Structure 1
Amino acid sequence: MTYSYCLLQFSNRPPDDDHIIAEFNKFALKGEIGERYLIGNFVGSVFDSKGGYLTLPSQEVVLYVPPGAIEEGKRQPVYCHCNEYKYGAIHAGKVVLSPIVHCGPDGAEFERDVVLAFPHCAVNPNNWNFTALTRDKEGSWNKLPEDTTFVKDEFVFVFLDHFTGYTAEGDAKEGKNAQRRITIGATGCFHRDTWCQIKVGVWCDTGSRSESRQIPGISTSWKQRTAFCVSEKDKILITEIEDVDKGLQQLGSSKKKMIRLADVGTDKDTEVTNCQFTFRHADKPKDFFCTVSVTSDGQENIKLDLFFFPTDTQLSDADPKLAEMTNAELYRKVNADWDPRDSRVSEDLWRCLCQLLDVPRDGKKDWRGFAEKLGLEASQINTLELKESPTSRLLSFYFTMEKIRGNRLDTSLQRLMEIFVEMENHAAKTYVINYTEKASVHDSQSVSDDTVGNNRIDDETIPNTQGQNEPTDCA
């Protein structure tokens, strides 16, 4: 059997990163603390010592800056983006499992570890050896120390003390069948009335949900797409078109086409055509139907039914108002409940909990018990032993997880209090209760007129986290 080999064709390239960063730097000079700058897969803001977070919803990336990570009185611009294309393995024998996330400005350093969380495409994480990577000034990728990385559920958590590029790769554990999740997309269009063209694209599915997260009202150019699991040992996908209507003749000598899995990208927002098929009809057809069949090395097969008209419009279901929205308005449409103060915990409360839980206590009432409640494995807990403040790292991990889950700060603090109750650490529980009660009283006595850009904050009650009325007695 003869297969044709298809080179990648880029249908759209990301905006120039240097230009976007230059524009963000201008914005950061006069932007208010907490104000967001968003364009495509780039988001940035200006932070102070109270910390906060950045999110890229389409990539499910969260960057959490804990309180105290930035010096008091300092304004620190922070940004992250996923505007890179990466195909194949970075290191021989391994597979790229995550998007490439760049945090900046390059070389920015912090007093306390910042947490970067990004998804991975491993179907069975326990069967994989994960390696988190960082890129140096020369552009080479190097392995991060194991004590700087957690893999929990469908996310990789990296604890950073400076900024550069990051991703994760992996290989199968000995004797294990390691699988990863990819997405296959198919679309078609008419060309010159009597010609039909079918395009097939494949990319790493690093989303933590079965469906792809998209801006409401905007449809993808892929008319059909579905998740597909491939083994770490699989090297190629064989694609062919079946069930074509009579009268249509496929052009080209090869009826089957090969896609190398080494050519699969990690950016799921990138529309890349990995292979295409062309059909010709003697007359002008009214419509087109076919089945796209994709088979892996391991003989796993998936089929997508494709049906379209000559007059199909890609954005027929789109909300007409979306075309008039700014990037920031689109961002808020996806994240209607985000707020610049959300996930900002006071430095005093953070310090109190660290001083209390870092001290070894019987009955797992210290940071070890806290780590177990967060679901960390024994090996992960052991890596915290050598840290100056294990609790500080656990709190950063906890609030990053809460942001991934979509929880607001009041919900996260309530859950934190419940964890301390389960640990029977009543002192830690009391600190959180006092903090939330006093913050709520302060919030009820004031009317907020804070704004983000031109968008006023919702009237929804948000606990005050600006440093007023927190418990400070850590004795």
Structure 2
Amino acid sequence: MQGMLSDFLPDPGVLQFILTQAAIIVLLIIIMKCLHSRCPWLPNCMIGQDAAQENTEVQVDPGTLGSTSLSDVPCPKATSQEMEEFFKDLHSPTDNRVVRKMLLHKLLVFMTKEVDHRGACLMLADMGISLEVPPDAVSLGRVERVSLVLVWDLLDSPHLLGTQALISPVVYCGPHGASFQQLCTLSFKHCAGSGKYVRVYGSDTHLLASKEWEELHNKPSRRNRICITRDECQIKLDHFSLYTSVLETYGRPEVHKWLQLAVFSSPLSPDQSHQQIRIYFLNNTPCALQWAHCNEEPFRGSLCGPVQLFEFANTSKDMFLVLKYLSEGWENIDESASQYVPFLHIWHGKCPFRSLCFRRKTVSPVDSPSQNTSEIIVTMHVFQKDLQEKYLEVLRLHITESGCQAERVSPKPYCNRIPRELFEQLQMLLEPNTVSGNDWRKLASRLGLCGTKIRFMSCQHSPAAATLEFFEELNGSLHDLYKIMLSMERLDCAVTIEAFLNDPLPDSPGSFQRDKDQENQCCCEGNTTSLASECDSGLTDLGSVEERDICSQTTDEYTAIQ
């Protein structure tokens, strides 16, 4: 029997080898699990289910913030003592000063006040964020500490789909869960250029907890307390928490958001052999530009002139930066003269930037005595892929020892564009068909279109818009259009054009200023849909890419027929 058992038992050396290998495999599995759950800085930690859904966000490009390569897995939880010190620092009165401080790996900009029954207003200067605590919100004889915090930590932002865009900062009102006898008003900026598709999100958690973002418009108790204007969100708060806003595109290509292109550089030194410039692609909000200033402090970079606005379309097209001209005596050290920024990095508000580095050429004065290397002149083109004919910005920089200056060079227009606000008003007036035909059809006839072309135009999505687009293609001026309307006896259109010529509205989202009383009247009245429409009456979402494309196709057809 003992002999039979010895035949089935493995050799002791083989058994020891198997056990050793099994122990090594188990140890490796344990180490990998620990690293995956505890080290958020591993570049491959993002690869998972979320990464499979949005492959473009897994790629780490050198011009984005370091946080874009972080894992969605949160950092190890802070200890009770660390959390106590965190909130103690955060909720300590700041004596009416705005404080910027790194607390538990979070870069925060905040202000804390002690508020009594008289109320108070907390405002983050240059950030476009304010919190108003009205009188009698705090009981007589009591004092409450109130904090207004701008969170510069991208990991606290909502996790967005490809159809959603982040258009506002993350704002925290503290202490979390605090309630008052009167509703407080929180205001912060957004960059959608219209309130039509803007949705306010909230996370009913404190600042160090895992965020649970949800749309506040879906809550009946919150819906009537939200007012969204063309560039601002106003929320009536019954208790404090985290808030931001998101642009819901619902697959509409005409939806867009506004960016600000900010160029930073340091002054040029005589003995300097290399010079670098950095171009930021930021949401058009005040706090985004302040973040860029903060990020430039270690490099001693300064803003080169005013920022340039850019209309970023919802087309899933990446942004391209192309170096077009570099002054003599300097050379680009990069292999390529163009760089790109992934669409989602901009669409999701990750504040990406791109850098260009130039090297001074070593040329003897005898060979090239006329070269002046004490200054650098740079010209760049910025555009979305395949959309450079519609959305193109030309940036020109002049860098000297005294500093850097930037100017916007308007590209040669393909046609004279009617300002969008005026375009929408004229479209609304000319669209309805009249019995006498004194509508878009008469305008088309005055522009030289025959009956066949007018019938073709009537099949378009918006015949009036197509007619106005055709007028643009003819490079007509507003004065020409004004005279045509007078000859057509369309005095309503003529008065609209005349009013615009006398008091023009700049074609940018931040320049549309409305009477504050009108904005206050629309606040917190009716449901969200009517509220947004009231706030945007006469200022509907402009620059529809889809309709513009239809009109462009129409004019191409006219050209082909002619």
Aligned position for 2:96: 36
RMSD: 4.0
**8 Å Cα contact 1:97/1:204 also seen in 2:** yes
Per the alignment, do residues 279 and 38 of structure 1 end up closer, same or farther by CA in structure 2, a change over 3 Å counting?
closer
Aligned position for 2:381: 293
Aligned position for 1:169: 246
Query: How many angstroms does 1:114 deviate by?
Result: 1.3
Moved over 6 A (4+): 16-20
**Structure 1 CA distance, aligned partners of 2:234 and 2:313?**
24
Amino acid in structure 1 at the alignment position of 2:151:
N
Aligned position for 2:136: 68
Per the alignment, do residues 102 and 251 of structure 1 end up closer, same or farther by CA in structure 2, a change over 3 Å counting?
same
**8 Å Cα contact 1:149/1:157 also seen in 2:** yes
**Structure 1 CA distance, aligned partners of 2:83 and 2:352?**
23
Note if 1:97 corresponds to 2:153. Answer: no
**Structure 2 CA distance, aligned partners of 1:26 and 1:167?**
24
Per the alignment, do residues 266 and 162 of structure 1 end up closer, same or farther by CA in structure 2, a change over 3 Å counting?
farther
**Structure 1 CA distance, aligned partners of 2:519 and 2:377?**
52
Question: In the TM superposition, what whole-angstrom CA distance separates every residue of 1:407-457 from its partner, at most 9, and x where no partner exists?
Answer: xxxxxxxxxxxxxxxxxxxxxxxxxxxxxxxxxxxxxxxxxxxxxxxxxxx
Question: In the TM superposition, what whole-angstrom CA distance separates every residue of 1:164-196 from its partner, at most 9, and x where no partner exists?
Answer: 211000122665612211111113345872222
**Structure 1 CA distance, aligned partners of 2:98 and 2:338?**
42
Note if 1:121 corresponds to 2:212. Answer: no
Query: How many angstroms does 1:99 deviate by?
Result: 1.2
**8 Å Cα contact 2:382/2:394 also seen in 1:** yes
- Segments of structure 1 that go 5 or more residues without pairing to the other structure are 29-34, 315-370, 385-396, 398-475
1:244 corresponds, among 322, 326, 330, to 326
**Structure 2 CA distance, aligned partners of 1:211 and 1:100?**
14
Per the alignment, do residues 9 and 309 of structure 1 end up closer, same or farther by CA in structure 2, a change over 3 Å counting?
farther
Per the alignment, do residues 20 and 80 of structure 1 end up closer, same or farther by CA in structure 2, a change over 3 Å counting?
farther
Per the alignment, do residues 70 and 235 of structure 1 end up closer, same or farther by CA in structure 2, a change over 3 Å counting?
farther
2:338 corresponds, among 251, 256, 274, to 256
Question: In the TM superposition, what whole-angstrom CA distance separates every residue of 1:211-258 from its partner, at most 9, and x where no partner exists?
Answer: 99x9xxx99812132111111334421012221112422223222111
**8 Å Cα contact 1:133/1:143 also seen in 2:** yes
Q: Secondary structure at the match of 2:258?
A: strand
Query: How many angstroms does 1:262 deviate by?
Result: 2.9
Aligned position for 1:229: 311
1:303 corresponds, among 385, 394, 404, to 394
Which is worse superposed, 199-208 or 296-305?
199-208
**Structure 1 CA distance, aligned partners of 2:144 and 2:325?**
58
Which is worse superposed, 36-45 or 48-57?
36-45
Aligned position for 2:357: 278
2:210 corresponds, among 138, 162, 167, to 138
Higher strand share goes to which structure?
A: 1
What is the TM-score with the length of structure 2 in the denominator?
A: 0.48
Aligned position for 2:280: 201
| Structure exhibiting the larger radius of gyration computed from Cα positions | 2
Per the alignment, do residues 207 and 261 of structure 1 end up closer, same or farther by CA in structure 2, a change over 3 Å counting?
farther
**Structure 2 CA distance, aligned partners of 1:287 and 1:4?**
33
Q: Secondary structure at the match of 1:62?
A: strand
**8 Å Cα contact 1:199/1:273 also seen in 2:** no
**8 Å Cα contact 1:109/1:161 also seen in 2:** yes
Amino acid in structure 1 at the alignment position of 2:110:
F
**8 Å Cα contact 1:245/1:290 also seen in 2:** yes
Amino acid in structure 1 at the alignment position of 2:194:
N
Note if 1:51 corresponds to 2:119. Answer: yes
Query: How many angstroms does 1:301 deviate by?
Result: 1.1
Amino acid in structure 2 at the alignment position of 1:304:
L
**Structure 1 CA distance, aligned partners of 2:84 and 2:123?**
20
**Structure 2 CA distance, aligned partners of 1:114 and 1:151?**
16
**Structure 1 CA distance, aligned partners of 2:322 and 2:313?**
20
Per the alignment, do residues 276 and 18 of structure 1 end up closer, same or farther by CA in structure 2, a change over 3 Å counting?
farther
Per the alignment, do residues 195 and 20 of structure 1 end up closer, same or farther by CA in structure 2, a change over 3 Å counting?
same
Q: Percent identity?
A: 17
Per the alignment, do residues 196 and 36 of structure 1 end up closer, same or farther by CA in structure 2, a change over 3 Å counting?
closer
**8 Å Cα contact 1:89/1:95 also seen in 2:** no
Aligned ranges for residues 316-327 of structure 1 at < 5 Å? none
**Structure 2 CA distance, aligned partners of 1:247 and 1:4?**
33
Query: How many angstroms does 1:73 deviate by?
Result: 1.8
**Structure 2 CA distance, aligned partners of 1:381 and 1:9?**
40
Query: How many angstroms does 1:55 deviate by?
Result: 0.9
**Structure 2 CA distance, aligned partners of 1:220 and 1:248?**
20
**Structure 2 CA distance, aligned partners of 1:121 and 1:39?**
25
Aligned position for 2:525: 381
**Structure 1 CA distance, aligned partners of 2:83 and 2:332?**
41
Which is worse superposed, 80-89 or 289-298?
80-89
Amino acid in structure 1 at the alignment position of 2:280:
G
1:178 corresponds, among 246, 255, 270, to 255
Amino acid in structure 2 at the alignment position of 1:139:
K
**Structure 2 CA distance, aligned partners of 1:37 and 1:176?**
43
Q: Secondary structure at the match of 1:243?
A: strand
Q: How many residues align?
A: 306
Query: How many angstroms does 1:158 deviate by?
Result: 1.3
**Structure 2 CA distance, aligned partners of 1:48 and 1:73?**
7
**Structure 2 CA distance, aligned partners of 1:73 and 1:184?**
49
Per the alignment, do residues 135 and 129 of structure 1 end up closer, same or farther by CA in structure 2, a change over 3 Å counting?
same
Aligned position for 2:29: none
Aligned position for 1:22: 88
Aligned position for 1:337: none
- Tell which has more relative contact order, 1 or 2 (C-alpha 8 A, sep 6+): 1
Per the alignment, do residues 266 and 4 of structure 1 end up closer, same or farther by CA in structure 2, a change over 3 Å counting?
closer
**8 Å Cα contact 1:106/1:163 also seen in 2:** yes
Query: How many angstroms does 1:313 deviate by?
Result: 8.8
**Structure 1 CA distance, aligned partners of 2:142 and 2:114?**
10
**8 Å Cα contact 1:124/1:179 also seen in 2:** no
Amino acid in structure 2 at the alignment position of 1:376:
C
Amino acid in structure 1 at the alignment position of 2:121:
Y
Per the alignment, do residues 76 and 90 of structure 1 end up closer, same or farther by CA in structure 2, a change over 3 Å counting?
same
**Structure 2 CA distance, aligned partners of 1:48 and 1:195?**
56
Amino acid in structure 2 at the alignment position of 1:181:
W
**Structure 2 CA distance, aligned partners of 1:147 and 1:197?**
49
**Structure 2 CA distance, aligned partners of 1:102 and 1:38?**
14
**Structure 2 CA distance, aligned partners of 1:250 and 1:17?**
48
